[in-house]
Amino acid sequence: MNRLSSFLEKKMLPLANKMSSQKYLKAISASFMTLIPFLTIGSIALVLICPPISSETMDPGILRSIIQGWESMAAVLKVPMGAIQTICMDFMAVYISAAMGFFLARNYKLKGYLPPVLTTVSFLILSTITADGTKVFSYFGGQGLFTAVLSSILAIELLRFLKEKKVGYISLEGKGVPEALTESFALLVPTLIVLVVMAIIHTIVLNTTGNVTPALIAVLLEPLIRFTNSLPGVLFLAFLVMTFWWFGIHDTCITGPIKAFWYTTLAANIAAYSAGTPATNVPYIMTSPFWFMFLMIGGSGATFGLCLLLLFGCKSKQLKTVGKLGIIPGLFNINEPIIFGVPLMLNPLMYVPFVGSVMVNGLITYLCMDFGIVGRTIADPSWNMFCPIGALISTMDIKAALLVVILIVVDIVVYFPFIKVYDNQKLQEENETEEA
């Protein structure tokens, strides 16, 4: 353990600190967080219009009647809810390109609405027109996310460089000239140059591959996506993220950039489910709701089970108080009171259960989904949804909610021997303080 701590502190911690302050990673993380309301609403709309099973395959009874009612409601809501689902989910890459433009521009103090519009237009140039002039829109969703991120970074960096060098600068300074007009004309030539560069890249990719840029990037990233969707990939990521968190590096520093992978796979699952594929057979296991609803039950470190232990199984006043403070936020996957109150962070006794509980949750859930015991995720209920409910919404499978309950029990078992030792230590310290 000491060797591991020393290695992580000397080698990995500096890297993690750099990652946490890296402007591109911060922009990616902020962009995906901005989209959470729309992704949640779109997922709920999908659930409303896509019953998990056909009533025709069911025996007569109350459950069949419920599904029939659901089907009737879905028929009525298909158009309006379908529109909401399509606009919220199927244009994800377009929204990410705009959000990236906004956050990167803010980092460089580029004013106005031009930067997010520029990044959006740049993405559209790379993604929309084929070699024969046909317009394609299939890369506006999850398949185009990486192109949206990369094109936005390139567009903003080029714009910033051209502005700093005052390339093609046009001045409209004077009284009565609107600020927005002044900024737009000042960046007219730099904007033109950025778009020409994007058009050149688009042309080169078309001439060399015969397809648009997102298709090329999808091919290049396929091995990495395949690894993140594998059991070793899930376990490795769980170990890495939780280890960093134990050292005080927030999990979003790692998961923020990876969300592009997760939403790409989720979008593929949604498309397959909308086309009639059962949730047990959609292509991917590792998605954003898989991570938050099944691995991070109660927050990072799967601490909801620990909350219950603190509240009902500990004798230490400090730990019981932390349990009382943490149980309500824990219902919504917020666990900073637990992480800093126990504390879990930099606590050698808590490292193994903090990391191990998430890895065990990942192992059990992955195997259940891989063998078709539980449906895979086809909706995103938001990371702060109470996990049993979130698991049900994300999979449309009641067994998923039961699985989360089982995982909470498993997490209690993982934490129990460690928190028992820690509780005795804290109780002894409290008794000694009272005696003194």
So what's the pLDDT on residue 224? 86
Band of pLDDT at residue 4, cut at 50, 70 and 90: low
Q: How many beta carbons lie within 10 A of that of residue 241, not counting itself?
A: 25
So what's the pLDDT on residue 394? 93
Task: Compute the radius of gyration of the chain from its Cα atoms.
Answer: 25
So what's the pLDDT on residue 336? 86
Q: How many residues does the chain have?
A: 436
Band of pLDDT at residue 429, cut at 50, 70 and 90: confident
- Report whether pLDDT(305) > 90: yes
User: Alpha-carbon distance 94 to 215, whole Å?
Assistant: 16
φ/ψ of 344, rounded to 5, equals -95, -35
So what's the pLDDT on residue 260? 82
List of residues 6+ apart from 384 with CB closer than 8 A: 332, 333, 334
| Phi-psi group of 277: left, alpha or beta (phi > 0 → left; psi -120 to 50 → alpha; rest → beta) | beta
Q: How do residues 13-33 score in pLDDT, each as one tens digit?
A: 566 566 556 788 888 888 988
CA 287 to each of CA 63, 112, 248, 269, 379: distance values in angstroms, whole numbers, following the listed order: 29, 34, 24, 9, 10
- Report whether pLDDT(12) > 60: no
Tokens for 198, please give them. 């994007």
**What whole-number percentage of the chain has pLDDT above 90?**
52
Band of pLDDT at residue 162, cut at 50, 70 and 90: very high
- Report whether pLDDT(2) > 80: no
**In the block, which residue shows the tokens 């002039």?**
133
User: Alpha-carbon distance 292 to 302, whole Å?
Assistant: 10
So what's the pLDDT on residue 3? 64
**What whole-number percentage of the chain has pLDDT above 70?**
92
Q: How do residues 351-394 score in pLDDT, each as one tens digit?
A: 999 999 999 999 999 999 999 999 999 998 888 888 999 999 99
**In the block, which residue shows the tokens 């699985």?**
403
Q: Are 208 and 129 in contact (CB under 8 A)?
A: no
Q: Which residues of 118-145 are buried (b: 16+ CB within 10 A; e: fewer)?
A: bbbbbbbbbbbbeeeeeeeeebbbbbbb
So what's the pLDDT on residue 14? 63
Q: Which residues of 312-344 are buried (b: 16+ CB within 10 A; e: fewer)?
A: ebbebebbbebbebbbebbbbbbbebbbebbeb
Q: How do residues 129-140 score in pLDDT, each as one tens digit?
A: 988 888 988 899
So what's the pLDDT on residue 185? 74
Between residues 287 and 30, the one the model is more confident about: 287
- Report whether pLDDT(436) > 70: no
Band of pLDDT at residue 165, cut at 50, 70 and 90: confident
- Whether residue 343 has a cis bond before it, omega within 30° of 0: yes
List of residues 6+ apart from 61 with CB closer than 8 A: none
Nearest CA to 13 among 345, 416, 406, 420?
345
Q: Are 314 and 303 in contact (CB under 8 A)?
A: no
**In the block, which residue shows the tokens 């309500």?**
328
CA 169 to each of CA 103, 185, 243, 248: distance values in angstroms, whole numbers, following the listed order: 24, 8, 49, 45
Q: How do residues 191-219 score in pLDDT, each as one tens digit?
A: 999 999 999 999 999 999 989 999 999 88
Q: Which residues of 376-406 are buried (b: 16+ CB within 10 A; e: fewer)?
A: bbbbbbbbbbbbbebbbbbbbbeebbebbee
Q: Are 288 and 266 in contact (CB under 8 A)?
A: yes
Helix, strand and coil content of the chain, in percent to the nearest 5, comes to 75, 0, 25
List of residues 6+ apart from 399 with CB closer than 8 A: 373, 374, 375
